[in-house]
Amino acid sequence: MTHNTPLSPRPLRRLSDVTRRVLTAAQLRAQGVTAAETNEQCRPGGSWQQILPGVFLLHPGPPTSEERLHAVLSYAARSPFRESSTGAGGVAGVPAQPNADEPRPAAATPRYADAVITGLAALTLHGFASAPPLPSLDTIDVLVPRLRRLRTVGCARIVRTPAVPTPSYVTGLPVAPVPRALADAVGELSDAATVRRMLTEAVRGGHTEPAAVIRELTEARLLNRPHVADAVESLLAEGRAVAEDHLYRMVREHALPDPVWNVDLCLPGGPHLGGLDAYWPEQAVAVELDTRAPRQEDDALWSEYARKREVLERLGITVVHVPPRKLRDSLEQQAAVVRTALMASYDRDPAAYVVVLPR
């Protein structure tokens, strides 16, 4: 097989030497290929094709998904940190240049400055089952700084941003973090069921936390869209369910005493004190999950959390407040915090008697 032979798609987890087949005009010049030679190769019936302005595909067949991704990044990048070498064989279809037989460094996965794949393509790369396969996407979204002078063209859809996020790298490609990719994808979707599936999968699949997604949706001013607001309610419910599962795992896997789950406390014949996710009556230790949305951080809900904690601690009940992210990322550490609170209870004065009711 030569560079001129159309290549079949490969699984995303397997990198091919795509950098030999997708090159910019600058990279071709670095190989000693003149503009005239490039134009000759791209004539009808030629061995190459221009896939995007200044970006060339070095075979005549349809581009693979991997080639389209690299082409979009090559088009949008300010400049690669290094020009990729095509190896000792040079560029296919062009006469050998002087010194072409001299050894050259092995081709390296290129790094693209100020260009990050986002939107549906990014979600597909992150492994979302609810995102469409790459070959079905007519365009690939790519984040660039707001002041870049680029236009959407061909398969490259330019998404401008004040600050390009630090990317994750999937098969060597810079990809927006899941919350940002979700926000960019949701901004282009009008189907409520699809939006709900994607937001739910983000949390259920362990890709991210609801708070991070809602923060990006808020930044993108998408929460005023009814179908997005409805999906966010499902996202929060899913986030709580996942956090509760982690809490159950923490107790089970780290050999903590069994608490009573999802209870309300009240004083005998007195006022209701509030609900708790887990409570150890003998030690008077409670765990409460913080599943507020980011937009609620300074509102009445947080005031209610603080008021409840203050009342319970006045009664001698220790309250451990746990964000779901800490349960996901540091389960052992959170178990140690709870175990310490349980052990410390034996050195405290007995707590006030409270009535424990199922919630």
10 token code pair: 């490969």
Could you read off the pLDDT of 249-287 as tens digits, one per residue? 999 999 999 999 999 999 998 788 989 999 999 999 999
Given a cut of 60, is residue 102 above it in pLDDT? no
Mean pLDDT, rounded, of the chain:
84
Supply the pLDDT for residue 213.
Answer: 93
Supply the pLDDT for residue 299.
Answer: 58
Could you read off the pLDDT of 206-239 as tens digits, one per residue? 899 888 999 999 999 999 999 999 999 888 888 8
Query: In the predicted model, what is the mean pLDDT of residues 3-21?
Result: 49
Supply the pLDDT for residue 292.
Answer: 66
Residue ranges of domains in the chain, CATH in brackets: 251-358 (3.40.960)
How far apart CA 76 and CA 156 sit, in angstroms, is 8
pTM score, whole prediction: 0.74
Confidence of residue 192 (pLDDT cuts 50, 70, 90): very high
Q: Tokens 């670095």 appear where? A: 30
Supply the pLDDT for residue 256.
Answer: 95
How far apart CA 356 and CA 334 sit, in angstroms, is 24
Given a cut of 60, is residue 162 above it in pLDDT? yes
Handedness of CA 33, 39, 45, 51 (dihedral sign): positive
Could you read off the pLDDT of 311-348 as tens digits, one per residue? 999 999 999 988 888 888 899 999 999 999 999 988 88
Given a cut of 70, is residue 28 above it in pLDDT? yes
The torsion defined by the Cα of 291, 297, 300 and 304, in degrees rounded to 10, comes to: 50
Given a cut of 80, is residue 300 above it in pLDDT? no
Q: Which of 256, 253, 238, 272 is nearest to 341 (CA)?
A: 256
Q: Which residues contact 89 (CB under 8 A, 6 or more apart)?
A: none
The torsion defined by the Cα of 325, 328, 330 and 333, in degrees rounded to 10, comes to: 90
The b-or-e profile of 150-165 (16+ CB within 10 A means b, else e) is beeebbbbbbebeebb
Given a cut of 50, is residue 16 above it in pLDDT? no
User: Using an 8 Å Cβ cutoff, are 64 and 71 in contact?
Assistant: no
